[in-house]
Structure 1
Amino acid sequence: MTIILVMLFIGAFGGFISGLVGIGGAIIIYPILLFIPPLLGLPEYSAYVASGLTAVQVFFSTLSGSIKAATRPDFTPSLVLQMGVGMIIGSTVGAICANLLNENFVNIVYIIIALLALCLMFIEPKHNRYHKSYNQLLLMFLGGVIGLISGIVGAGGAFIIIPVLLVIFKLPMKQVVANSIVIAFISSIGAFGVKLFQGFIPFEEALGLIIGSIIFAQVGMKVGQKTPSKIQSLIIIVFIVIAIIQILMNL
């Protein structure tokens, strides 16, 4: 029961953040799963199990958030489909490769992609007007690369998707949030499926994460619609920095 309650809280937190800023929550859930349970006297998780549980949280929080996001006027199906195809292929391959790598390497990969996302967040792009036409090959290629790397740590990759859409494609934050969470859901399908097949998703812990993620992703989405873009960007930056520090301490 203690494990379920802890995971329920972690899932609720990750789900809320997911809905608030359009990310899957992996950027903060992965290190939380590594550090919080031992502090509460619960078993310590390996990087493999932590990434498996992260994949569960990302899958269900982005699924919940996607249902709401798809009804928003900023939702762009062409963007989601083109980038999502690359993401799901890349994340599936990344999830398979993760099982062949040692834990320190998985953590190092996580730090690298988090630092990349952090650097992009400090670039001030000039946003284009809202549009629905995109370079399909570029979207699929970037989606594949992001999916490959994020699949290694069981992430949906939205914390990389957001800076890419903001800086490279110059989209406004509200449009980015509405689409990134759906792209992250598509990406998470591959990682979630592989982690489940590999046996890195313990049922009891996953149950709490699922319930918390589904409920609070909807709450976060509602709050996010009323949150200024600069505040959303700041929240993303803060969580990326915290995650980097936590993982560095674990190396």
Structure 2
Amino acid sequence: MGAFSGFIAGLFGVGGGLIIVPALLYVLAFEVQEVVLMHTAIGTALAVIVFTSISSVWAHHRHGAIHWQYFIKLTPTILLGAFSGAIIAQYLSFDFLRIFFAIFEIMVAMIMWFSISTSGYADNLNRWVWLITGYIIGLVSAIVGIGGGTMTTPFLTYNKVDIKNAIATSAAVGMPIAIVGSVGFIIIGTGIEGTTSGLGFIHIKALLSIVMTSIFFAPLGAKVAHNINGKRLKKGFALFLLLLGVFVLSF
């Protein structure tokens, strides 16, 4: 799980939560009570992304692919949104989180597959668009346990940013989301009945096991991303999201 999620994180700039959350639903099903199972999977995924994103970001930065100006525009409200999402998640049921996660993935997959985009460019966007978008990305990412790449990448490509640069920038955006989201899930999970990890909604054993390999495979995924055709990469990203959405919906 760690190796595959790390590779996908580097390849698509998604943080790896898209793989980790569905996988942990099965792995932890017999150890964690269902009422907090989705919350534990999401919290643990966010904690993993903290480490995986560092490795992925460094690899993309070495290729000079990250648009740091977009990262700076999105980050302030992403931090607020991520913490808000973690707080809101404690009031949402397992089934709501699962269905929300799945439908969200399928919708984004359709946008990416059909290459829907605006006629404008990211550099021309109003500051308020960046702030509002950042908050939404942070909020939804923390609720479903992802690094934000499934929203940041489509948002940037929708505004005429090259797919490879969008993926690289999304990887960077995932870091603050994961840090703030993880802290939020530790806080809201502390003292909740049904958790077994001792650190809120973060499962320590799963976290350490996944991180041990994910941090080594993220740079490999980033290297592959910069050596394949952009259109194929975009189609592959869309298909990947669609399959994950269907998988979680059928859980």
Question: Aligned residue for 2:113?
Answer: 122
- The match for 1:49 among 23, 29, 40 is 40
Q: Which amino acid aligns with 1:110?
A: F
2:170 is matched with which residue: 176, 180, 190? 180
Q: Structure 2: state its 5+ residue gaps.
A: 190-199
| Residue in structure 2 matched with residue 112 of structure 1 by the alignment | 103
Stretches of structure 1 that go unaligned for 5 or more consecutive residues are 1-9
How far the C-alpha of 1:47 sits from its partner, in A, is: 0.6
Pairs within 5 Å for 1:147-226: 147-167=138-158, 169-197=159-187, 198=189, 199-226=200-227
Decide whether the 8 Å contact of 1:79 with 1:134 is kept in 2: no
Aligned to 2:197: none
Q: 1:147 and 1:77, CA in 2 relative to 1: closer, same or farther beyond 3 A?
A: same
1:91 aligns with 2:82: yes
Q: Does 1:247 align with 2:243?
A: no
Residue range with higher mean Cα deviation, 72-81 or 15-24:
72-81
Q: Decide which of 76, 100, 105 is 2:91's aligned counterpart.
A: 100
Equivalent-residue separation in structure 2 for 1:22 and 1:111 (angstroms)? 19
Note the aligned Cα RMSD (angstroms): 2.3
How far residue 130 of structure 1 moved from its aligned partner, in angstroms, is 9.2
Q: Do the aligned partners of 2:43 and 2:202 also contact (CA within 8 Å) in 1?
A: yes
Tell me if the contact between 2:3 and 2:214 (Cα under 8 Å) persists in the aligned partners: yes
Measured in 2, the distance between the counterparts of 1:124 and 1:236 equals 11
Flag the 1:175–1:133 CA change in 2: closer, same or farther, 3 A: farther
Quote the residue 1:235 is aligned against.
236
Letter in 2 for 1:248: L
C-alpha separation in 2, matches of 1:202 and 1:36:
11
Q: Aligned partners of 1:220 and 1:201: how far apart in 2?
A: 25
Q: Counterpart of 2:243 in structure 1: which amino acid?
A: I
Q: Residue 155 of structure 1 contacts residue 191 of structure 1 at CA under 8 Å; is this kept in 2?
A: no
**What is the identity, as a one-letter code, of the residue corresponding to 2:217?**
F
Offset of residue 81 of structure 1: 1.0
Give the corresponding residue for 1:3. Answer: none
Deviation of 1:24 (Å): 0.9
Q: CA deviation at 1:152?
A: 0.8
Counterpart of 1:33 in structure 2 is 24
TM-score, with structure 1 as normaliser: 0.85
Q: Compute the TM-score of the two structures, normalised by the length of structure 2.
A: 0.85
% same residue:
27
Deviation at 1:16, TM superposition (A): 0.5
Which of residues 140, 165, 169 is equivalent to 2:131? 140
